[in-house]
Amino acid sequence: MFKFIREFLLNSNLRGWPIPLVRDPKNKRGDVALTLVFISAIYIQIGLLASFWDKKFDTYSAFEWFLACAGLYWARKVSSKNEDIGGSIEDDPTKKNDIGK
């Protein structure tokens, strides 16, 4: 029995665990950050529906979780574009190499 569990865990570690992810519309690949935004948006909608029936549901925390997930997705999208958003070393006079002049 122990050998079976060990082999199962080793094989799972080598192959990975497939999990369903929401696909990004631009690159058609599964995206963890977009999946978190999707789940948190559904969580807020459940909270809003629960508020109609006077159920105790913390919609404020659900909205904070949505903002955190949306911020993660936005930051990942901004940082993965590979665009230069700042100046280069040549533009900064304190970073120039003046040795040998």
- 31-72 pLDDT, tens digit per residue, is 888 999 999 999 999 988 888 887 788 888 889 999 999 999
33: domain range? 20-79
Does residue 58 form part of some domain?
yes
83 pLDDT band (50/70/90 cuts)? low
Does residue 24 form part of some domain?
yes
Tallying the residues shown for the chain, one arrives at 101
Does residue 56 form part of some domain?
yes
Lowest-confidence range among 22-31, 44-53, 84-93? 84-93
- Whose tokens are 């079976």? That residue is 4
Does residue 2 form part of some domain?
no
Count of structural domains, the chain? 1
Q: Please tell me what DSSP assigns to residue 30.
A: E
Does residue 14 form part of some domain?
no
Encoded tokens for 89: 């070393």
Q: Rounded to whole angstroms, how far apart are CA atoms 74 and 64?
A: 15
Cβ-contact 61, 47 below 8 angstroms? no
Does residue 34 form part of some domain?
yes
| Helix (H) or strand (E) run with residue 12 in it | helix 2-15
More confident residue, 38 or 92: 38
Does residue 40 form part of some domain?
yes
Q: Please tell me what DSSP assigns to residue 88.
A: -
Three-state secondary-structure class, residue 31: strand
Reported pTM = 0.60
Contacts of 20 (CB under 8 A, 6+ apart): 30
Does residue 60 form part of some domain?
yes
